[in-house]
Structure 1
């Protein structure tokens, strides 16, 4: 196995891992997803283990959504569920360092597997066309039409829909058939110039011969599968937590690579098929068990069971964005801010007081549900949804900027009622200290808001 390729795999997985760990610092790390690919046994094993972790370590109100995505991942259609939920892969990571969805990173593998299933039909179709010029015309049409719809259709849909990404593959065929047809003849001089401009990969290159990076490349597939569930379930806003998640990711990747991945790669195709079938059956049973067996159920004292059940009814809105019942009459925030999830001023209501909703992505999820309770009994209603907009505190450069944007909007519009709706970082779960900086910050911000109206 070539060391330089393994080193590139190492670079790919490190970039993805850093993106998920620090999404605001390593903003292009997701590009590493497209560099490496392997096979199914480990994929199905990690789904099985992740389902168990979800039901052992996450609160039960998080199970339903994760169970949906676990089932979608089992059928290799995670990307389709992301489309159906109108979810956003990038906001999922940038909104906070953790996620309610521990399977969302598998969208790329679902897309890849669908690609492997359908692309052979393109090869078969091209074989029907005997002349290379006809094949060239066919791939040009596929590329142009595919790119046209990819560029025009909703970005979240086209990003996750396999057929709208085929153009990326077919565009490579254009170069192939152009070369076969010798459409662009080159002189010997131009060929020599091209060769002299190529970036040489020196066999003595320290970077591409790095044993450490090469080993990370060896475990890259395992690392990609396990890192996000570990971050989602265990990470908190502390250095110790980050170090723990990094070490747990590395250790679990190394262990799974040596005791499982390397072993099944030695099997012949019959052994692989049998192993995959066993893992699929195991996943099938786990999906049945978590939905039907009392073993997984949480025991709740009867006196609080009704309260818990009533709260669960609202949780569906945490990952689904409800359609707006009324068209926004304003949707551009002033002054502009580049880290917005959304801004909307609704048509004038029939009441005599103004309302503003302020926060992060939860404003988008819960906004219509909350607005419906006012039944248009307001004079002015608007929402401001900001990336890392926690409303009453900040703990990062982006959230500090978001806090200032929120304060500015309150100062400009002076709402009679300010509703702060935000999913808070795990910094809020740390123990309150004497002269706690977050408490001081919150009191100062609330005092600022109360100069203009009531805060809830």
Structure 2
């Protein structure tokens, strides 16, 4: 195959975009689309290799798969094993086992399936998984496995030529894209991670190969348009968009145009630095993310110097990988496969046993595994599956009978929100019971508790029902409303958040209802139980290194905007982050309280002036009217 400077340049553009996006460099919010560029390139190359061999009667599965193994696997093994050796001395035992488990999935090219299955709301943060980026390699490998089987079968059964293949590819890509758009709306995690909804991007690359002979004119202009589109993608797209979806067409189309044009006359394409980046793009992609995650785990705070240092380290490791591993031409894939078997056996053992536990103090390990050892308590704390609906309970509404019944002889308060309402629910309920107050709860993940909710369909249905049905029809029976959410998700849309919160408060005031807003709590860049464990291990305050500044900025803004309604729960230095002898951490993950932390926060909530004001008001309405409502509320939402 004649060397194509344009394809190598596309690799360079893709990997630069991904790295700058992951390293949070300003103006590269769309850098994640570099993965989609890689997909189109892979689709083009694999389709070209397979179809040309089929039409020449030289294709063999053994040869095709053997070459893919020798090309992809050695550098991946090198990265995984190096990471496991280094992390053995850095990560807490539970975190190390998590990485070892992901290593097995990465080496077997099923990490995309694993991450899809473990993409629940309370699963480990993606930014603490140094092998998260291998999901895209798994998707590509699965495509490599299936593509030649389909193409060979089509040729054997229907005697396909290039024109037949082109028609098949076009029809397939259109059908799969339509299905993808639908699937992204009903199951975004699965759509993001799995091959079926990503395959159309690689098929688009195949179309570029099959159609390139038909393009005779305007090649330079078409290539220029393609590069312009890709540049716009890296700058103007953002991760808040549904993906893959209609916007995914943009990077796919841009890459398609560049490949289709096959134009190698632009002077910038042959720049040595640019071409070298393209050649080492695979190793650079493999190494940049583990470097970033390791730095985060060590609490190295983000800055310009930090970013430059990580880039240098990533390039050094990528150079070593490309020069001494990736560039080796292995004569047989047998030794590579044997190494994978040994590596997977090792990672399975490492993921099953806490082999580095002896490095740490016993109490350190106890703190770091608090959440894993108290899952049932956590469910009770959140009222999970009943009054708190997460993605795991998709399609199931809140239980009206248990969560929304009004007590005739008590004050009735309603707690509405997402998981940041749910993690306070048990503690607030216990405090309110002592005051003779009944607390109802409606909480769900996937949207904020606003009058015009936007986000996950199940969440939006619940929030809309509460505001537009339950509250509206029972306004005279509700004494107060507590609105709580993880507001930090809207840090990029602060003005809209303020507007939506004002509209929500105004709506409640029109119904003559008193409401308070529970503020943004502090959030961290890694689970707080791990931070607390490291603090205990080193007898040193480390948490300030892991604070997410956005939570402070947003809390300060909302506090100024909603003074009389806002309850500030942002943690002060006076709060004890570990309980006494039980050494229970104040938080479990990056932003949710444990029961210990929720108890402290609930006490803080009811002691503040906005809540005291609502608690002091008199009973509303005739409680006997609730009897009719209760009889009609036995079904789930």
> Structure 2 unaligned runs (5+)?
43-70, 224-260, 390-396, 449-454, 456-483, 509-513, 527-541, 570-600, 602-637
Number of paired residues? 408
Q: CA deviation at 1:52?
A: 3.2
Conserved? CA contact 2:97–2:352, under 8 Å? no
The verdict on how the C-alpha distance between 1:327 and 1:239 changes in structure 2, with shifts beyond 3 A counting, is: closer
Q: CA deviation at 1:80?
A: 0.9
Conserved? CA contact 1:391–1:406, under 8 Å? no
C-alpha deviations, 1:313-349, integer Å up to 9, x for none? 368989xx99753598xxxxxxxxxxxxxxx999635
Q: Matches of residues 39-438 of structure 1 in structure 2 within 5 Å?
A: 39-86=72-119, 99-127=127-155, 128-130=157-159, 139=169, 142-153=172-183, 154-170=187-203, 198-199=222-223, 205-235=266-296, 236-262=301-327, 264=328, 266-268=329-331, 270=332, 272-292=333-353, 294-301=355-362, 308-313=368-373, 324-325=385-386, 348-350=404-406, 352-357=412-417, 363=419, 371=425, 374=429, 377-379=438-440, 381-382=442-443, 398=492, 404=498, 408=502, 415=515, 418=518, 420=520, 423-425=523-525, 429-430=544-545
Q: CA deviation at 1:418?
A: 2.6
How far apart are the structure 2 equivalents of 1:293 and 1:65?
Answer: 10
TM-score (norm 2): 0.52
Aligned with 1:28 (options 27, 30, 50): 30
The verdict on how the C-alpha distance between 1:295 and 1:402 changes in structure 2, with shifts beyond 3 A counting, is: farther
Match of 1:336 in 2: none
The verdict on how the C-alpha distance between 1:406 and 1:279 changes in structure 2, with shifts beyond 3 A counting, is: farther
The 3-state SS of whatever aligns with 1:26 is coil
> Structure 1 unaligned runs (5+)?
181-185, 329-343
Q: CA deviation at 1:7?
A: 2.7
The verdict on how the C-alpha distance between 1:367 and 1:245 changes in structure 2, with shifts beyond 3 A counting, is: farther
Conserved? CA contact 1:58–1:233, under 8 Å? no
C-alpha deviations, 1:170-218, integer Å up to 9, x for none? 56667888999xxxxx9xxxx8765685548776633112111112112
Conserved? CA contact 2:518–2:566, under 8 Å? no
TM-score (norm 1): 0.70
How far apart are the structure 1 equivalents of 2:220 and 2:293?
Answer: 47
The verdict on how the C-alpha distance between 1:442 and 1:48 changes in structure 2, with shifts beyond 3 A counting, is: same
Q: CA deviation at 1:126?
A: 0.8
The verdict on how the C-alpha distance between 1:149 and 1:372 changes in structure 2, with shifts beyond 3 A counting, is: farther
How far apart are the structure 2 equivalents of 1:117 and 1:69?
Answer: 21
Match of 1:340 in 2: none
Match of 1:339 in 2: none
The 3-state SS of whatever aligns with 2:270 is coil
Match of 2:9 in 1: 7
Conserved? CA contact 2:291–2:314, under 8 Å? yes
Q: CA deviation at 1:155?
A: 3.6
The verdict on how the C-alpha distance between 1:253 and 1:403 changes in structure 2, with shifts beyond 3 A counting, is: farther
Conserved? CA contact 1:78–1:107, under 8 Å? yes
What is the RMSD of the two structures over their aligned residues, measured on CA atoms?
A: 4.9
Q: CA deviation at 1:400?
A: 5.3
Q: CA deviation at 1:111?
A: 0.3
Q: Which protein shows a greater Rg?
A: 2
The 3-state SS of whatever aligns with 2:518 is strand
Conserved? CA contact 1:393–1:441, under 8 Å? yes
The verdict on how the C-alpha distance between 1:292 and 1:246 changes in structure 2, with shifts beyond 3 A counting, is: same
How far apart are the structure 1 equivalents of 2:144 and 2:169?
Answer: 18
Q: CA deviation at 1:267?
A: 2.8
The 3-state SS of whatever aligns with 2:275 is helix
Conserved? CA contact 2:385–2:398, under 8 Å? no
